[in-house]
Chain A
């Protein structure tokens, strides 16, 4: 690809022995992705990763909403790090982009203002009796997947290729703002041309779509969404991106941020309800995947095991293009095999139902 500048932005990513910090949003909206991440690393790649039941939310949502003070979040972060050290790990990986930004911000603040680190150490000691041990490396879980992308490619059951045409699938990659826009050097490829998802797409046979609003925020933004009056701004940003990418006819979108994956998916439903516009083929939406879902499909995981039934936009057209075998009747079965209910059929979510649509 022409974007060679990503190679100027490299960072140390450990090969093994990761301490895993989960994401609040993903546990609720994409629980299958976090599960898949652990399964892929443990079962497919044989990597040591520790999912610690003692760790908590980083409180980033509260921090960005002015509910949690800086001193508090620093102490929470310090506790996470101390848990990592107590468990015998030194490579901290975060499943959430907001958290990833928080961990980098806190470490940078401690570096720039050593008195804040000393104060945090004292707070942590007083509150928990623990000692702060800073991690040897910090990475986002998409960095880890990127790091192992060639190993995954070697184990692939299928590539990101359209079964009907033989052509590479066109993939829009969307990077969370807090991945590299705060600290460009903390992301693979920097902030202008991030390569973390593009590298996976290329390694697994897809084509990366470069469209004019590629860098633009998905519109999530805590203040955009949590303040109800600002939600128009949130959907307007997603709308701008979707309008910009639509002419390229992407087969799917992949995101590395919980908020981005959620809003680029769910706002498609809202937009279709508001003005009837849809952005995918045949009047449907554009499926929005997490990178674990993308990796899971490449490795041959069952889409419903990956949790893809949680999506607002139906993924079946994409599964068909990829040649993924799936049981349509199992889509909405719960763990006990009982039907958990079907969502009402709408434009972006109603495969098999004929709808009168504008696009």
Chain B
């Protein structure tokens, strides 16, 4: 009889872990809070740095999970975990020989940065809203017209002590570059500005894309965070910032402000960790045994991690890590049960 591993979360990390476990002869069971698989990637338009449609990754992944006949529980929330199974909010318990936490992250709530007026001013949107607009009917201002002057603000809810988010969300910089290029292709005559404090281009092809954005797509990069946004009488957005390279304050009026929202740890992590005896990092993400040989292992044997549940990660890194998690689970099961 195959060993059973419960995977909490049916996003990219959960699906990839399930497929890898299945290929190793282990029975994966996915418990997903939503009514379908896909997690945060669902609804995303294109992926950095190659502009591959997100559906080109997500759809085949979900198809493979279906073809592999992975058992999935939908609309179920896990409230407690242990190395021998998980407990659902309904009280039902799913026994297992090991558990993988793949619950990902929570998008930073842009309302918390009140100075930017998200939810208050019609033409202040988030990077997630922009992806959905690009995936849907197209990008327009609230009145249906085309934006002629767009600002993209990096690090909204990242590296920001004021809102208790000290960590870097890693993927926002390259997302900002990607979205700026997409906006340029949609609006060839528009002025597009990216406001940043640092540009962190850590992945393959990222730095090249950043240069291309400047040289080929004429995206303006301004080193300085926007301090506040306010609506003008004609429903445009007035922003204030400091251009820290020239050392001068800056005030300009734009048509649309895009807030690159960061990744936050899930609110539920604390309770789950406390009850299961798991360690959390200071930023609220689950803490791994170490960053090297134990990068997917928790401090509790039999409980493993995959993807952004341990910190901000790109989709590529998440998928790679999920394979590593499956390998670590396999090693654990052999060690514990095949003595």
Contact A211–B120 (Cβ < 8 Å): no
On chain A, the number of residues with a Cβ less than 8 Å from chain B's Cβ atoms is: 14
Known: A2-B120, A3-B120, A212-B238. A192 touches B231 (CB 8 A): no
A to B contact number (C-beta, < 8 Å): 24
- Which residues of the other chain, B, contact A147 by a CB distance below 8 angstroms? none
* Contact pattern, B 219-243, Cβ under 8 Å of A = 1, otherwise 0: 0000000001011110000100000
A326 at the binding interface (Cβ < 8 Å):
no
Known: A3-B120, A212-B238, A215-B228. A192 touches B114 (CB 8 A): yes
Known: A5-B111, A5-B114. A213 touches B233 (CB 8 A): no
Contact B231–A210 (Cβ < 8 Å): yes
B115 at the binding interface (Cβ < 8 Å):
yes
Majority SS at the chain A contact face: loop
- Which residues of the other chain, A, contact B120 by a CB distance below 8 angstroms? 2-3, 5
> Nearest CB to that of B237 among chain A residues?
A212
Tell me the smallest distance from the CB of B122 to a CB of chain A, in Å: 10
Tell me the smallest distance from the CB of B160 to a CB of chain A, in Å: 15
Tell me the smallest distance from the CB of B250 to a CB of chain A, in Å: 14
> Nearest CB to that of A6 among chain B residues?
B114
CA separation between A2 and B235, bound complex, in Å? Answer: 14
Tell me the smallest distance from the CB of B278 to a CB of chain A, in Å: 31
CA separation between A190 and B230, bound complex, in Å? Answer: 16
Known: A2-B120, A3-B120. A212 touches B232 (CB 8 A): yes
CA separation between A185 and B26, bound complex, in Å? Answer: 53
Among A3, A5, A213, A247, the residue within 8 A (CB) of B230 is A213
A37 at the binding interface (Cβ < 8 Å):
no
Contact A215–B230 (Cβ < 8 Å): yes
Chain B, range 212-271, C-beta contacts under 8 Å to A: 228, 230-233, 238
Which 3 A-B pairs rank lowest in CB-CB distance, beginning with the nearest?
A192-B114, A212-B238, A212-B230
**Given A192-B114, A211-B230, A212-B238; 12 other pairs, CB 8 A cutoff:** A2-B120, A5-B114, A190-B114, A192-B115, A193-B114, A210-B230, A210-B231, A212-B230, A212-B231, A213-B230, A215-B228, A247-B233
| Residue positions of A touching B, CB distance < 8 A | 2-3, 5, 190, 192-193, 210-215, 247-248
| Residue positions of B touching A, CB distance < 8 A | 111, 114-115, 120, 228, 230-233, 238
